[in-house]
Structure formats: C-alpha cells, structure tokens
Chains A and B, each alone.
Chain A
Amino acid sequence: MIFFIALSFFCLALFVYGYHRSAVSLPFKCLYTTQYHYVREGESLNVHLIHDVRIYSKDSAYILLDGHLRSSTNTYKINRVILLGDGEISQGSTFRFNKTEVKPSHDDNVPAELVHRVLNEYSLTPDTMQIDIFPLADKSFLIGGPSSFLSICLRY
C-alpha cells in the first residue's frame, strides 16, 4: 500500500514539475529586436522595433514599442506603450489580453493604419492580443502570435 501511495506521489510530482517546466513563470520580462518586412500589392513597409514585453499577471501587462517605420514614401518614429489587461492564460504559455489602452509618446508620428500592420501579427481580434511564449533554452523564449512564430526574445 505504501508503495502505491509513494508511486502516486511520484507521478503527481512529475506531473506538477512537467506542467511548471512548460509554463512561463511570472513576472515575465523580455526584450527583443525585430525587423518586419512587409510586401503587399507592390507596397513595401520596413519596421525596425525594439519590444519590451512585461507580463506581471493575467490582468496586468504591457508592451513598449520603440523604433522606426519606413514606407515607400516616408519614415516615421514609433514610441508607444500598449497597456494590456483582463487576460487569460492557456496551457501555461499562451497569453490572451484585451488592449486596454494605447499611449503614443510625443514623438510617435506613425499613422494608425501602419501600426496595425505590425500589431495585426499579435492580434486575435481588433481588441485582443495573443502572445505565445515558449521556453527554448535558459533565458531564450520563442514569441508567437496567432498565425506564426514572430521572434526570439531574451528574458531579463
């Protein structure tokens, strides 16, 4: 009897360990630089962005975006924070948040429709962002959106 009880605890411990190993512990702070290259219907758009993702809980998170955006005709500065909240966590690694507010800084002059090109890669609906965070090795994490993997970030 003791043997089976011990075995049950062992299995339970493995289960918990396995779950936590695949789950992302909070708070999660990660930094990554990505160059987005868009080509569509002859129009090209290049976006160089530094992302600072900070997730404190399912109800408190934000993403800082800093960089520039170059279209075929203009270059824009982007510097804004996207506040996130009212979220949920699935399978320990998929975070789904509502965009509670977008706050551009004073020098952010990007037209909204161009910003949406980038944010669409993270958007499940116009008001909802989804980020998958998969541990790769040590402090490296693979960041995914609803459609594809987007970047690799380094946790700090």
Chain B
Amino acid sequence: MKYIINACIGFSPADGVLYRIESEDSVTLPLPAQRLLLIILESEGEIVTRDSLLTGVWDQFGLVGSNSSLNQYLSLLRRSISAFGCENFIETLPKVGIRLCEFVHIQKIDEENNSDTTEVISKRRPSGPLSKMSTIPKDMNAWILIIAFLACSFIFFGISKGGGSSPTPVYHSLEDGCKLITFADLNDEALSRVKATLTVFMKAKGMQCKPGNRFYFDDLSSQGRDHTKRTLITYCEEDRKGKSIMCNNFYYFNEVFSEK
C-alpha cells in the first residue's frame, strides 16, 4: 500500500518513507509523523479534530500526546511535503483541527494485490461543520447572490419609491437656468402647457427663472369632491449645495392667477 500526493510525492506507510517520485529523494518520517500523515491521507478531506489526532497518534498506542507535540509534528509534515513541491497540503482551522487543502489529490495504490487499481480518495469533499455551508459550486453561488441582491433591491425600491407612499419628483431644466419639478412624468404637450402657465405666473409675481431657483408645479388632484380644480406652484431658493432654503407656496383653487 502506498499513497501518491498530487502525482509527485509518494508515501509508504509500511516503512514511513516520504519520497519525491521524480528524483527519488526521500525522508523517513518519525513514527508520530507517520501516523499523523496516514490519518490525514485517509481523512478524505474531512475535518480532523485535534482530539482525534491526539487519540489516533498517541493515545491508541499507550502514549501521551500534547498540543505542542501535535503542532511540532504538523510543522514537520508541512516542511517535508513542502520540500518535495507541495506547498499547500494541510490547512489549520483555528480551535477546530486540520484538513487537507482544497484540490490536493490523493491516490491510494494497493500493491499487495499486484493490481493497477488506483483509488482516488481525496479531492476535498464538502463535508464537516465548516464546509457544510454550501454544496453549490462557487460560480453558482455568485449568480445566486447577484440574483438575490437584484431581488432585494427591487423589493427595496418598490417599498421606498413606489409602494403607494411617496410621489416621485421629476426634474426639468428650463432655458433660463431654473429647475421645474413636477410629480408626474409629463408628455411634451403637458410639459409645454405647464411651462406656459409658469411663465404667466412668474410674470404676474415679478419672479425670474434663474440658476439657484426651483419651481414645483402640480395640478393633479384626486377627483374633486366638489368638482374643483387645484393647482400648487411653489417657488424655492436653493443654497450653494442645491438645498431649498426658502419656499413660497401658491395654491389656486378653481382658477390660476385670479388675483389682480
């Protein structure tokens, strides 16, 4: 029985030799490191807790292990395997344990049966408490996230903008530099009518359309309970940041600009 790691490093549990396949460089691992490596290779990408490592490496053999000795042999394994060309072999999960890094490929070869049967035993499988988060491929996750975000945004704007609550201001720039704001999206004809009304209004009030001024206009009322027409024109002056600092409202009931 032997194990091949990423098709370039071999490990023979029988004699505890770790070797590089191409160059035949080898190192004989100490017994605890051998047991440790075997447990990791057989873990199939599952998380192996520190307790189970201490049990499998020392307790089962009547020895007493400790966290520091475990760290020491883990470090030795990392160094040895890294020296043979596999940089990321084990990942440490703080306060939990260890597991094989993702995409480490392990082959288990049964030499005793004298067969070429090769068993792929590890490309990390999603399992264990941390990796159970998702069995969806990463790119699929990204798509789900994007779709979910769009759905949430749609709901959010549906509530905050529409939702039957707030009217949406529609901004129009007038030729002389002021802004006209309506609360409905007007067609060209309606907009021309509003502009004409506003021109008459400004003339009657001695107002000017200039940058820094804005006019709100609205003549949409719910069906008048008494069949009357209502028109609101508001003139506001803006500060340098474009915020309204002073507004005068003119509310016409039935007829616009009836005053003398």
Binding site for B on A (CB under 8 A): 1-3, 7, 10-11, 14-15, 17-19, 21-22, 32-40, 44, 46, 91-93, 121, 134-140, 142, 146-154
Contacts and interface: CB of A to CB of B under 8 A. Distances in A.
Given A19-B159, A148-B221, A38 B148 contact: no
B82 interface: no
A90 B226 CA distance: 25
A34 B167 contact: no
B159 A18 contact: yes
A148 B230 contact: yes
Contacts of B167: 134, 142, 149
Interface in B54-103: none
Nearest to B232: A149
B28 interface: no
Contacts of A38: 253-254
A142 B183 CA distance: 10
Nearest to A20: B160
A91 B232 CA distance: 24
A147 B221 contact: yes
Interface stretch (B42-50, B113-121, B149-157, B185-193): B149-157
A91 B230 CA distance: 24
Contacts of A152: 216, 234, 236, 244, 247, 249
Which of A32, A40, A147 has the largest count of B CB atoms less than 10 A from its CB? A147
Nearest to B205: A35
17 contacts: A22-B160, A32-B249, A35-B250, A37-B252, A37-B259, A136-B169, A138-B243, A142-B216, A147-B222, A147-B224, A148-B220, A149-B232, A150-B232, A152-B244, A153-B247, A154-B245, A154-B246
Contact of A22 (B163, B230, B250): B163
B98 to A, nearest CB: 21
A47 to B, nearest CB: 9
B165 A32 contact: no
Given A1-B132, A46-B259, A147-B230, A14 B247 contact: no
A18 B141 CA distance: 26
> Contact size class for B?
35 or more
Contact of A149 (B183, B224, B228, B245): B183
Nearest to B136: A3
Given A134-B167, A137-B243, 20 more contacts: A1-B133, A3-B134, A10-B148, A10-B152, A11-B155, A14-B152, A18-B159, A22-B159, A32-B249, A36-B253, A37-B250, A37-B253, A37-B258, A44-B259, A92-B165, A147-B222, A147-B225, A149-B167, A151-B249, A152-B234
Contacts of B110: none
Contact of B251 (A15, A22, A150): A150
Nearest to B157: A18
Contacts of A17: 156, 160
B197 to A, nearest CB: 14
A106 to B, nearest CB: 28
Contacts of A150: 232, 249, 251
Contacts of B253: 36-40, 121
A148 B152 contact: no
Contacts of B166: 22, 93, 134-135
Contact of B234 (A22, A147, A151): A151
A21 to B, nearest CB: 5
Given A3-B134, A152-B236, A44 B258 contact: yes
A137 B157 CA distance: 16
B147 to A, nearest CB: 10
Interface in B201-236: 216, 218, 220-222, 224-225, 228, 230, 232, 234, 236
